[in-house]
Amino acid sequence: MTPERLERINTMLDKRQPDLTVCMEGVHKHHNLAAVVRTCDAIGVSDVHAVWKSEEMEVRGGSAAGSQNWIDVHNYHNTADAIAALKAQGMQVLVTNLSDTAVDFKEIDYTKPTAIILGQEKFGASKEALALADQDIIIPMVGMVQSLNVSVACSVVLYEAQRQRQLAGMYDKPSLSEERRQRVLFEGGHPIFAEACQRKGLPYPAIDENGQIVADEAWWQKMQMNKDAWQHIDD
């Protein structure tokens, strides 16, 4: 890993906001998820949650492809499981929905751990999501349409969250765990070795302050063998 790439990855990781996230409900178009994940990366969101309409459609491997490899995508088959996971992390769960109890999205305190549920463009959030969420939010509109494209709505709300968090100094100090930082540094800085570890079942090594792999001779030896060969060594 070059010093320039190491600096870029570390700078990105220093700004990550692990307690700010988005949950897309009833995903049926991968390009919509890709657009949301792209915005999340720009904001500093580290995780995106997706409730898929069918198991066959979900994103495999825990992350979207291409430029979105820096975001972890967590897949669910039902809304209740997704919201339970978010609340277990102590997050306030917001849902975009036009209702009598909805408040302007700018009135929310996004410096708190926050998850934003985005419903389908055609049908909106499900009854289950509306029942389980803590608060409905709306994006005020004065035109003829009553809703925005899901990725646009995501951007509008997240940039308000970013504004509040920047004012509160939440982007000024790293909040990502060291374990996760190490994983991202290895996968992003040494992708060929990371793919080999995943294929062979090898644990990830540590990454030092210069971005270099720290591993013993046994690890390097196994890296050069196929899995069957080094399993015989362990035996």
Binding site listing for S-adenosyl-L-methionine: 96, 139, 148
Residue stretches of the annotated binding site: 96, 139, 148
Place of tokens 């979207």: 64
3-state secondary structure of 138: strand
Counting every residue written for the chain, the total comes to 235
For 111, the token pair is 């410096």
Write 102-106 long-range contacts (CB < 8 A, 24+).
102/135, 102/136, 102/137, 102/138, 103/135, 103/136, 103/137, 103/138, 104/137, 104/138, 104/140, 105/137, 105/138, 105/139, 105/156, 105/157, 105/160, 106/160
CA-wise closest residue to 47 among 13, 70, 78, 81: 70
How many CA atoms, within 13 angstroms, populate the side-chain half-sphere of residue 172? 8
